[in-house]
A and B are shown apart, each in its own frame.
Chain A
Amino acid sequence: MPGGHVGYQGSSLKINPSVRNKGTQIAPTGHGTDPVRLFVKGVFMAYKGGKKNQVNHTQLIKLQDVNSKEATQFYLGKRLAYIYKAQKPNKEGSRFRVIWGKVTRSHGNSGVVRAKFKKNLPPKALGKKVRCMLYPSSI
């Protein structure tokens, strides 16, 4: 499952959790290594809930420049990644960790989207960036 790849490819920031060179920068290849962004930026706005309730298993995500319900149609089913840094590096030397999720449905009329993650997002993620990948693609 290509779930490991979240990073900008070719960037000097070693974001890619499955990069094999431990702790070193990604060496530039001969075919162009400018950073490539293949995800839409989003923000983890809130957990689902009303005035008195909070439903922790569903998160509300605001995707950049998605401002209407029709616009969210494209993003339904797309995978989401919440990336955070940890102290201890993993086997491949990366300190970045990911919580994967997906866009489940739209929320309201202004382009906010509901999402479910494999593990509920921690509250420290509120207001933090979330990446909406372009896969699974249907175009």
Chain B
Amino acid sequence: MGQAGQQRSKQKKICNKKTVKVKKTGEKKTPKLRKNIQPGQVLILLASKFRGRRVVFLKQLESGLLLVTGPYSLNGVPVKRVNQRYCIATSTKVNLGGADFKSISDAYFAREKAKKGAQTQEKFFATEAPKKVLPQEKKDGQKKLDEPIVKGLAEDMKSYLKSRFSLSARTFPHEMKF
């Protein structure tokens, strides 16, 4: 005496044969940006080396990741990509002051492709991997980007961005208003 009557008599759905749009291979949609995330918004990073840091949101990149910056001089967070799901948007907004980040896209963060050339004797026997140093132009670009933002910040906002978010004994996120 197996199945319940409701299960057995479940009506079969008759699918309407709709014309299905053929997706072009490689066509990707940029994931939706949460409504409360606007350029200049302060976000709290939830994971990674910089968890707890408050950062300034710049723009959403094509891949859907969010472009953020510390600014570097305030909290050590460089220009960085962050997934929406790994940050909390606060209601605090910062004036970006015309900072120029139009040139930064996903390509800026691409890894340097190791040149698959002839493996020289030295390379093969090298015991230490060459150190990956951030190129000077990226460091300069970081400074240039942060300048107008930092200029427009009040002292209390600067210390706010320097500080880190943390849950304490009596604070619970489901009761908090960010």
In the bound complex, CA of A5 to CA of B13 (Å): 45
Chain A binding surface, main DSSP class: loop
Which A33-85 residues have a C-beta within 8 angstroms of B? Answer: 34-40, 64-66, 71-75
Q: Choose among B52, B86, B162, B172 the residue that contacts A137 (Cβ–Cβ < 8 A).
A: B86
Q: Does B111 contact A (CB under 8 A)?
A: no
Query: Which of these binds chain B: A88-96, A117-125, A128-136?
Result: A128-136
Q: From A9, A34, A66, A136, give the contact of B174 (CB < 8 A).
A: A66
Q: Closest Cβ of chain B: how far from A13's Cβ, in Å?
A: 15
Give residues 3-60 of B contacting A (CB, 8 Å): 34, 36, 46-49, 51-52
Contact A5 B166 (CB under 8 A): no
Smallest Cβ-Cβ distance to A8: which chain B residue = B166
| CB < 8 Å neighbour of A38 from B34, B49, B51, B178 | B51
Q: Is the CB of A37 within 8 A of B167?
A: yes
Residue of B nearest to A64 (CB): B172
Residues of A within 8 A of B173 (CB): 40, 74, 134
Residues of A within 8 Å of B150, CB to CB, are: none
Q: Give the size category of A's interface with B.
A: 20 to 34
Category for how many chain B residues contact A: 20 to 34
Bound state CA distance, A11 and B80, in angstroms?
24
Rounded to whole angstroms, the CA-CA distance of A66 and B89 in the bound complex is 22
Judge whether B46 and A32 touch: CB under 8 Å. Answer: no
Give the residues in chain B near A133, CB-CB below 8 Å: 46-47
Contacts of B178 in A (CB 8 A): 139
With a CB–CB cut-off of 8 A, which chain B residues contact A73? 174
Q: Within 8 Å of chain A (Cβ to Cβ): is B121? A: no
Interface digits, A98-139 against B, CB 8 Å rule (1 contact, 0 not)?
Answer: 000000000000000000000000000000000001111111
Q: Chain B residues in contact with chain A, CB under 8 A?
A: 34, 36, 46-49, 51-52, 75-76, 84-89, 162-168, 172-175, 178
